[in-house]
Amino acid sequence: MTKSSFTNIQSEYLAVIDHAKCVRCKRCIQNCGWGTYSFGGDKIIADHSKCVACGRCYTYCPEGAISILKNPTVMRENGNWQDYHIKNIWRQSETGGIAISGMGTPLKYKKYFDHILLDACQVTNPPIDPLREPMELKTFLGKKPSKLELDFNEDGQPVLKNPMPPQIELSTPFIFAPMSYGSISLNAQKAMALAARALGIVMNIGEGGLHDEMVPFGKNIIVQVASGRFGVNRDYLNSGVAVEIKIGQGAKPGIGGHLPGEKIGADISRTRMIPAGTDAISPAPHHDIYSIEDLRQLIYAIKEAINYEKPVSVKVAAVHNIAAIVSGIVRAGADIVYIDGFTGGTGAAPIIIRDNVGIPIEIALAQVDQRLREEGIRNEASLIAAGSIRTSADAIKAIALGADAVAIGTAALVVMGCHICGKCHTGNCSWGITTQRPELTRRLDPEEYGEKLYNLINAWSHEMKDILGAMGVNSIESLRGSRERLRGIELTDSELKVLGIKHAGM
Amino acid sequence: MITIDAKGLHYKELNKIIRESIASGIKNVFLENVNGQYYIGDGIKGDNITITVNGVPGNDLGVFMDGPSIIVNNNVQDNVGNTMNSGKITIKGDAGDVVGYGMRGGRIYIRGNAGYRIGIHMKGYNEQIPIIIIGGKVGSFFGEYMAGGVMVLLGLNNSEELAGEYFGVGMHGGAIYLKKKIDFSKYSKEVEFLEANDDDMAFLKKYLLEYAKDFNLSSEDLIGGPFYKIVPSSARPYAHLYTSSSL
């Protein structure tokens, strides 16, 4: 095989320019983070092999002169040997490397949210009009008492006998998922922080430390402690509304992470506290956590450091035994458990892990909620569900399956322009999201995209209220874990059983 | 100054008293009859604060600590100086496993031996250089994933085997100094074994003198060379592990 034919078949897309329309403004050259375009003296030339179909060029082409086409040069079709199998074998045989990619798995596994239908009221128990009636989405994350004991004060008003454990107050049951500075740009983090502040929700800063410019957003930030302990110190732990211990990630359960040295510039180096140019390595385990008892030790080390004033969350990937694992985490003292499902996103993961390890969030949630109820400890911790929440319907189904809130990662990036090209690991993101190249990051305006993020969460919250109204309930609290309001379609008996829902019509 | 009798106190009560004492301006805290209480000095901050511990403190001594000093007159258990930011911990006896995990600054001086996974994932940035000095020997995984800072392994006490298996695996920053030459052939290929030069010794001198003073050792014996130095061969040990997938 000659090098040229290999390169040719590697061109997944063709960047086709209509030279009759093109005014040679060269905006495409400037906008493409991949170096696809160059100027050939009298016209724009495209190197197809570099195109990843990120959509930046045609979005910003003033003449609509660019089309990105799927390369029509076919590999011989074979239902078993997909072209990505063949191409990855070629790449790996040339480099000897582990094949990595960004974003959640693109493979078409069954999406259980798409096989779950919601209930609505007709006649007997009337729906509620959310435009006329108050509809409550307010959500509190944290340990709740097993029962409420009341006293009455001098004015005869009821007051709690025992203090309520610390909570995070959300105006609507959404948070922005953990994405570190390093994996994404500071401007992308700022956009989420601005939106979170305006919405009265929170973002999770991820495991890469807290940049100085993010400190003022502390009331809307959950800080994270992962195995690399980047940027973690006493002040960091106290700078947000909660602390999260990251054990696992849905896209790569059981493995760590390497932020490549070329992404570690001066600013990230300072925020993570490692020398510039070195790989930022997060080992697979926390080497001080080899058991549930050790996890408890770290949870309480953090609680001592924050004087028990804020909840502590533990983030895990959804894996086969997730119900027993979460039960252990709750018993270890976590106030919140964040469960990241199989299709969750990532800045970089070996595809062999991403596409083959873990279980879907829908199943994990149903099993965890059920187990915690059976053990009588569901009140001990709140559950956050994540792993490609694509619509408000996914979110509301997750809540009915047992989640207290959902986390939005990929969807938030889509707001910022992401076309899910899956090349986050390369650091060339044309949209200025998963890159640290200043000429790319500066094009992401935090205010503009903060407003769009605000709009999205607002829209989804309105949709959620519509659904609640249709169901005849006036509070998201009434739907939590209420699987009676869900029905399955095109699911087997085993699937219905594991999800704890009835088939449609029953 | 305050003396606290820790006998029978749960760590939560003990640490609350310590935090409140420091908040009220007390600079010297003496703990008596400590018997395994966790998290002593967890997240405390401030200058010229010293906690003296009599008894054996429990896990996570000085975790997240930022500035104060802790002196332990006995042995300590696991996770000493976990993710510590600055300050100093002086241990007159032995230390357990996982000392200085993710440590970002400050000093930990151990007179005796230490267990497994000492100084793993230590960090360093500009002027902030965490330092760990161990008088005796250590277990396996010494300096695993070390990303910055400095560790010194003195091998006093005539220890035969200075360190266990997997010395410096995944090390990609910082430096480890040894007072005794060891056969490094069985260890990680990710690091290099060199003889310490004058610059190294000039850097170490200040810390070794302090160590000698803290433990009443002869400073001439301690500083007398030669020392050996272990540094990572690459700041990016896993750079060639990956290739971009087509999907």
What is the DSSP code string of A202-238?
Answer: EEE--SS---GGGGGGGGGEEEEE-TT-TT-SHHHHT
Q: Do A297 and B148 touch (CB under 8 A)?
A: no
| Percent of chain B whose predicted confidence (pLDDT) is above 70 | 99
What's the CA dihedral at A342, A344, A349, A354 to 10 degrees? 20
Nearest by CB to B239, from A12, A106, A279: name it: A279
**What confidence category does residue A5 fall into, taking pLDDT thresholds of 50, 70 and 90?**
very low
Condensed to tens digits (0 to 9), the pLDDT of residues A86-103 reads 888 988 888 898 999 999
**Residue B73 CB neighbour total at 10 angstroms:** 14
CA distance A95 to chain B (A): 7
For residue A197, pLDDT beyond 80: yes
Which residue does chain A place closest to B118, by CA atoms? A287
Residues in chain B: 247
Which residue in A91, A107, A108, A281 has the most chain B C-beta atoms within 10 A of its own C-beta, making it the best mutation to test that interface? A281
Condensed to tens digits (0 to 9), the pLDDT of residues B117-176 reads 999 999 988 889 999 999 999 999 999 999 999 999 999 977 678 999 999 998 999 999
Q: How far apart are CA B180 and CA B62, in angstroms?
A: 29
Contacts of A310 in chain B (CB under 8 A): none
Using a 10 angstrom Cβ sphere, with 0-12 exposed, 13-18 middle and 19 or more buried, the burial of residue B163 is: buried
Question: Please, how many CA atoms are within 13 Å of residue A233, restricted to the half-sphere of its CB?
Answer: 22
Spell out a b/e string for B199-232, using b for 16 or more CB atoms within 10 Å of the CB, else e: ebbebbeebbebbbebbebeeeebbeeebbbbbb
CA distance B66 to chain A (A): 7
Contacts of A237 in chain B (CB under 8 A): 43, 64
Per-residue confidence (pLDDT) for residue A9, from 0 to 100:
56
Nearest by CB to B125, from A270, A283, A300: name it: A270
- Mention every residue, 6+ apart, whose C-beta is less than 8 A from residue B15: A304, B37, B39, B40, B42
Per-residue confidence (pLDDT) for residue B161, from 0 to 100:
84
Backbone region of residue A497 per phi and psi (left: phi > 0; alpha: psi in -120 to 50; beta: other values): alpha
Which residue in B83, B142, B145 has the most chain A C-beta atoms within 10 A of its own C-beta, making it the best mutation to test that interface? B83
Contacts of B83 in chain A (CB under 8 A): 225, 229, 232-233
Q: Which of A112-121, A276-285, A477-486 has the lowest mean pLDDT?
A: A276-285
For A505, the token pair is: 């019509």
Question: Please, how many CA atoms are within 13 Å of residue A322, restricted to the half-sphere of its CB?
Answer: 36
Condensed to tens digits (0 to 9), the pLDDT of residues A281-335 reads 888 888 889 999 999 999 999 999 999 999 999 999 999 999 999 999 999 999 9
Q: Does B69 touch chain A (CB under 8 A)?
A: no
Beta-bridge partner residues of A17: A66
Helix (H) / strand (E) element for A46: namely strand A44-46
Q: Does B127 touch chain A (CB under 8 A)?
A: no
Per-residue confidence (pLDDT) for residue A6, from 0 to 100:
52
More confident residue, A124 or A385: A385
Residue of A274, A104, A260, A230 whose CA lies nearest to B241:
A260
For B90, the token pair is: 């002086």
For residue B236, pLDDT beyond 90: no
Q: Which amino acid type is present at position A10?
A: Q
Per-residue confidence (pLDDT) for residue A1, from 0 to 100:
38
Q: Does B245 touch chain A (CB under 8 A)?
A: yes
CA distance A187 to chain B (A): 24
Which residue does chain B place closest to A97, by CA atoms? B242
Beta-bridge partner residues of A281: A258
Per-residue confidence (pLDDT) for residue A166, from 0 to 100:
98
Q: Does residue B228 sit in helix, strand or coil? A: strand
Per-residue confidence (pLDDT) for residue B25, from 0 to 100:
96
**What confidence category does residue A4 fall into, taking pLDDT thresholds of 50, 70 and 90?**
very low
Per-residue confidence (pLDDT) for residue A10, from 0 to 100:
66
Contacts of A84 in chain B (CB under 8 A): 245-247
- Asked whether B244 and A91 are in contact (CB, 8 A), the reply is yes
**What confidence category does residue A277 fall into, taking pLDDT thresholds of 50, 70 and 90?**
confident
Q: What are phi and psi of A50, to 5 degrees?
A: -90, -15
Q: Does B59 touch chain A (CB under 8 A)?
A: yes
CA distance A490 to chain B (A): 29
Q: Do B64 and A277 touch (CB under 8 A)?
A: no
Per-residue confidence (pLDDT) for residue B43, from 0 to 100:
96
More confident residue, B247 or A362: A362
Contacts of A272 in chain B (CB under 8 A): 123
Q: Do B238 and A261 touch (CB under 8 A)?
A: no
Using a 10 angstrom Cβ sphere, with 0-12 exposed, 13-18 middle and 19 or more buried, the burial of residue A490 is: exposed
**Residue A6 CB neighbour total at 10 angstroms:** 14
Whole-structure pTM value: 0.95
Q: Do B173 and A274 touch (CB under 8 A)?
A: yes
**What confidence category does residue B188 fall into, taking pLDDT thresholds of 50, 70 and 90?**
confident
